[in-house]
Every structure is written in structure tokens, then in C-alpha cells.
Amino acid sequence: MTQAHDRLLIIDFGSQVTQLIARRLRELNVYCEIHPFNRVDEAFLKAFAPKAVIFSGGPASVYQENAPMPPKGVFDLGVPILGICYGQQVMMHCLGGHVEGGHGTAEFGRAFVTPTELTHPVLAGWFPPEDGPQAREQVWMSHGDHVSKLAPGFQVLGTSPNAPFAITADPARHFYAVQFHPEVHHTPKGGRLYENFVKLAGFKGDWTMGAYREEAIRKIREQVGDQKVICGLSGGVDSSVAAVLIHEAIGDQLTCVFVDHGLLRLGEAEQVVTMFRDHYHMPLIHADESDLFLTALEGVSDPEVKRKTIGKLFIDVFQKHAAEVGGATFLAQGTLYPDVIESVSFSGGPSVTIKSHHNVGGLPEKMGLKLVEPLRELFKDEVRALGRELGLPPGFIGRHPFPGPGLAIRCPGEITREKLDILRQADAVYIDQIRKHGLYDEIWQAFAAILPMRTVGVMGDGRTYDYALALRAVTSVDGMTADYYPFTHDFLGETATRIINEVKGVNRVFYDCTSKPPGTIELE
Ligand SMILES: Nc1ncnc2c1ncn2[C@@H]1O[C@H](COP(=O)(O)OP(=O)(O)OP(=O)(O)O)[C@@H](O)[C@H]1O
Ligand SMILES: O=c1[nH]c(=O)c2[nH+]cn([C@@H]3O[C@H](COP(=O)(O)O)[C@@H](O)[C@H]3O)c2[nH]1
Ligand SMILES: NC(=O)CC[C@H](N)C(=O)O
Ligand SMILES: [Mg+2]
């Protein structure tokens, strides 16, 4: 089979930053997929037909028993390979070099590499010749082990104080291996290294949104045929883009189902229904199921139980409506690539599960509906670019993400209707403040959460014993990492005052200054 575009395979050994490798490549218009090392075998390699392979970093040491190893045959594919950190170590280990642990070889964080007298196009743009012997470049390291003997055929192109083989290459086979992490922000020339690597591998940079749209439409038609599809539409960016794309592909074979689970924000249901019925003329079912969801969630306070309960009910509701529209056999969702990657850990991938996203981890095994997920390969910012390509209004594309489980995960502890009402009003005031101050587009996501405690206050000379609220606002590119937004004290003071004055039941407001990691964006 000929592929529509060049493909790069990232073999994941469990690094926390593997996804960033994919991001750097996508920025270069290179199509890539991440697959865990234990899911890639010779048959897979053959079917995938990568034009190049990257080995990620990972927590293991190659000299341990049962250390993760690359798939058989990968070195014989005849395609360029780039090994990063553990990826470098495992390459050396497999190809006849040697790796050691032990004292004095660890580097965590910033380090500087200096070039050797050898030059190679993989380092184009790295060490300007005018810098002469003073040349050095900042990289980000995170290793305890180091390569102590190179595999035959490899040369050293750069060294750092604790990694004598920081940058290595076997030019004849186009194998490259580095000890640092070129994918992270703190390796400023990392992007250039990937660019050089994919150029050497012959990538044309043919992965664009225009191409994606055409291909996605073709694939949807192929997959669905003349069957009916229902699409879970939340009014969020992902499902809206998915719905418009699918509608373009199959027209009125598509019906959208908007589930009001009683966990939506103030006025949200009306807005979504108006927008899609009037503006997009798509058949839309507004399923008011708030009693169903809120009853099931009564007394539930464990975050994972909340998520699984909601995930299951979503499917029940979709199944009910699939039958009602005359037997839809497909369910379309706005699932994105980060959701997919995260869910890999459910079935034995190398990294740990943080939370079950309702649309992936929460799906029951026997659903009876086949999935259509045209955005499965995209990151959030790519979905926004696709939305622009499809002509969705800019105000819509810029909307902050809102999680499927909705306010349930912004109400730590038990959920009650009273708490939800308070939260809805407070959140609306907070977002109104953000918009009034012209900050909405600078912030990636902002919301209020109601804390599971009451505190004492004094208002109008009376004692109050009311709920405390946490405000959250983060900057991010894709939700994988995030930093808290640095509001001014004036803004925070004014917002706290407005919330307490305008929302009955709140007498205290906190601002959450946690980045991700170590926090997550949502509270649960
Ligand atoms: N209230 C809802 N009704 C129907 N489907 C929903 C609802 N909430 C979420 N979904 C489904 O779950 C998927 C994942 O939700 P998610 O919040 O990640 O995406 P989104 O709501 O489309 O976009 P955004 O991330 O911008 O909020 C959605 O794409 C949609 O298919
Ligand atoms: O559709 C969704 N279903 C979920 O179950 C879910 N949980 C978190 N999120 C959103 O994902 C991004 C990262 O959130 P966390 O840092 O809290 O994991 C943030 O944008 C969150 O709002 C979800 N979206
Ligand atoms: N980040 C990594 O890939 C670490 C590799 C290996 N575990 C080491 O400590 O050297
Ligand atoms: Mg959403």
C-alpha cells in the first residue's frame, strides 16, 4: 500500500516527554505516531513502513534484567534512526557499545555541549564556526547512566562534562544518538536537530491541514459508507470541528447529540443549541439527562469513580439516541491524540495513568457502536488550525477547553445541586472578569472550582459560614504542561470581591498558583 504522506515512527520507552517529540515533528509538517516499544514487532514495522524511526528516552537502565529493547529488525530497515537518552543507550547496547551507571555520571537539567573537530549536517546551525573552540550549546539532560563505549561505526560530534558521548552519529547507516533531550524547550536548538534529522531522512514536510482535511473526509466516507452516524457534540472546539468535518463528508447521515448532564456552565446549553441548529443547520438532539447523571453521582466523591460513572452514562445516552435516529451504527467523537496516548497506559504501555479521560478510559468494552474519531491524530492547536480551515468562527475556535465530565471534576468531593448552582454563577462572574480585562485569549483555560469545605466570614456585621472557591487560569500550548496565569493583585482582588458580592453561598476565594506538572489543570 502506498502511503499518502511520509511517516515517522516514534518508539516509546516510557519517557514523560515523548509527546513533545511528536510535537516538534508536527511543527516541521512531518507525520509521526508514537507506539510503545512492547507493541511494535517486525510485522508492525513492515505495515507502518516508517521513513525514519526515533527511540524516546525512558526510566529504565539497559543493563537491568528485562530492560525494554527495540523491536527485532528495526536496525535492518535501512532507515535513519535517532536515539534520545535511553534511546541512545539502548542503541549502543544493541549495536555493540557499552553503557554504565554509577557515581559521577548523572546530569539533571541544564548542561552545555561542545563540538568535537568532526562536523556533520545533523548539527547544521548548532555551532557557528566563528565561535571557534569556544563554541558551546545549552541542552537539557536527565540521566544517571552514560554510554562508556561507542558501538562500531559511531563517531562523537559533541561532548558534555558528564556525557563524553553527548552527540554521536554513524554517518554510513544514518544512525544518530544523543544523551540529552532535544524535544524540550530548554534545549533551544533542539528543533533544529529534528529538522536536520528529518531532512537527512528525506521527509518532504507534506503534513498540512489542507491535506489532512481532504484525507479525513475520504477516510470518513470510506469507513461509514451509507450508515448513519451520531456525533457526541459538546459545543467544545474538538467535537464542533469533528461534527463540521463529518457533516462535510456525509451530510445528513449525521445527527449530533448534545448531552446536558446537569454539569454544564451557566447558559451553555442554550448557546450550543442555538449555534448548531441556527448556524450550521445540522440535525441536533438536545438530550436533557441531568436527572440521570446527578442521581447516579449522588454520594460519589472519588474522582475516578465520578469519571467512570459519567463515561458510562454518556454511552448509555448515545446508544439510546442511536436507536432513535433509525439505527445509527457509528458514534463520532472529538477524541484527540493526547487522549489516545494517555489511554495507552490502560493496556500496558510504559507510562502511568493519571486520570481516565471520559471519552477514552471511560468507554465500556461492549458498546455496540463503532467509533469515528477523525481528530485522533491531532493535537489541540492542530484542531484549531483545522477549524479555521473549515471556516468555523474565530470566537468559537478560541474557546477555552471544557472537559466532558464538566463541573463534576470542579467540585471535589460530593456533588450537590446547591454546590453546582453556586459554582455556575461564580464561574460566570470569573469569566466575565477575564473577558472585561481583555485576558481571555491570553489564557489557555480558566475556571472556578468549589472546594469541599466551608469557612467562616463576616458580611454586613453578620457571621457567614459558606463555601470557599478556587480560581484557576493556566497558559499552555496543548494542555500537557501548563503554568498558572500571573494575574495582577488588582485583578484578583476585584474578582474576589465581585464573586463574594454577587454569588450567594461563597465567602472566600483562593487563586491556584500550581503549574502542571506537578498539578494537573483540573482539580480532579
Ligand atoms: N455534553 C456532551 N454531549 C455530547 N458529547 C460530549 C459532551 N461532552 C463531551 N462530549 C464528547 O466527548 C468528547 C471529548 O470531550 P472534550 O471536552 O475533550 O472535547 P470538546 O468538548 O469537543 O472540546 P474542548 O476540549 O474544546 O472542550 C467530545 O469531543 C464529544 O464527542
Ligand atoms: O474531554 C475531557 N474529558 C475528560 O475526562 C477530561 N479531563 C480533563 N480534561 C481536559 O484536559 C486538559 C488537561 O487536563 P488535566 O491537566 O486536568 O489532565 C484540560 O483542558 C482539561 O479540562 C478532560 N477533557
Ligand atoms: N531520561 C532517560 O531516558 C534516562 C535513561 C536512563 N534511565 C538514565 O538514567 O540514564
Ligand atoms: Mg469539552
Q: According to the model, what pLDDT value does residue 281 have?
A: 83
The mean pLDDT value for 437-462 works out to 96
Give percent of the chain with pLDDT exceeding 70: 94
Residue 290 marked in a binding site? no
Is 120 labeled as catalytic in the residue annotation? Answer: no
Say if residue 431's pLDDT is above 50. yes
| pLDDT tens per residue across span 49-71 | 999 999 999 999 999 999 999 99
Residue 148 marked in a binding site? no
| pLDDT tens per residue across span 202-240 | 999 988 888 889 989 999 999 999 999 999 999 899 999
Which residue's CA is the closest to the ligand 1 atom numbered 29?
Answer: 334
Which of these ranges, 131-135, 147-151, 210-214, 449-453, has the smallest mean pLDDT?
A: 131-135
**Rounded distance between C-alpha atoms, residue 330 and residue 497, angstroms:** 48
- Provide the ipTM: 0.87
Q: According to the model, what pLDDT value does residue 17 have?
A: 83
Identify the residue whose cell numbers are 504501555.
349
Which atom of ligand 1 has the smallest separation from the CA of 332? 31
Q: According to the model, what pLDDT value does residue 209 have?
A: 87
Q: According to the model, what pLDDT value does residue 352 have?
A: 55
Q: Are 35 and 348 in contact (CB under 8 A)?
A: no
Say if residue 343's pLDDT is above 80. no
Q: How many A from CA of 234 to the centre of ligand 1?
A: 5
Residue 522 grid cell: 483540573
Closest of 510, 331, 339, 374 to residue 430, by C-alpha: 510
- DSSP for residue 496: H
State the pLDDT confidence band at 361, using cuts at 50, 70 and 90. Answer: very low
Which amino acid, 63?
Answer: Y
Say if residue 384's pLDDT is above 80. yes
303 Cβ partners below 8 Å, 6+ apart? 355, 409, 412, 524
The mean pLDDT value for 258-283 works out to 91
Q: According to the model, what pLDDT value does residue 88 have?
A: 98
333 ligand 2 Cβ < 6 A: no
Which atom of ligand 1 has the smallest separation from the CA of 240? 22
Distances (CA, A) of 41 to 79, 158, 479, 489: 16, 32, 31, 55
Q: Which of 35, 181, 261, 321 is catalytic?
A: 181
- Per the omega criterion (within 30 degrees of 0), is the bond before 517 cis? yes
38 Cβ partners below 8 Å, 6+ apart? 68, 348, 349, 350
Q: Which of 32, 35, 85, 357 is catalytic?
A: 85
Ligand nearest to the CA of 241: 1
Q: How many A from CA of 313 to the centre of ligand 4?
A: 16
36, β-bridge pairs = 12
Which atom of ligand 1 has the smallest separation from the CA of 402? 27
Residue to mutate, 21, 86, 160, ligand 3, most ligand atoms under 8 Å from C-beta: 86
DSSP string, 475-494: EESSSSSEEE----HHHHHH
Give 456: exposed, middle or buried? Use CB within 10 Å, 0-12, 13-18, 19+.
exposed
Q: According to the model, what pLDDT value does residue 351 have?
A: 56
Say if residue 478's pLDDT is above 80. no
Residue to mutate, 357, 400, 484, ligand 2, most ligand atoms under 8 Å from C-beta: 357
Q: According to the model, what pLDDT value does residue 342 have?
A: 62
Q: How many A from CA of 204 to the centre of ligand 4?
A: 34
Coil vs helix vs strand at 317: helix
Which of these ranges, 243-252, 334-343, 415-424, has the smallest mean pLDDT?
A: 334-343
Residue 375 grid cell: 481528530
Say if residue 8's pLDDT is above 70. yes
Residue 234 marked in a binding site? yes
Is 183 labeled as catalytic in the residue annotation? Answer: yes
Which residue's CA is the closest to the ligand 1 atom numbered 5?
Answer: 232
Residue to mutate, 229, 230, 237, 238, ligand 1, most ligand atoms under 8 Å from C-beta: 238
The mean pLDDT value for 253-275 works out to 94
Could you tell me the pTM of the whole model? 0.75
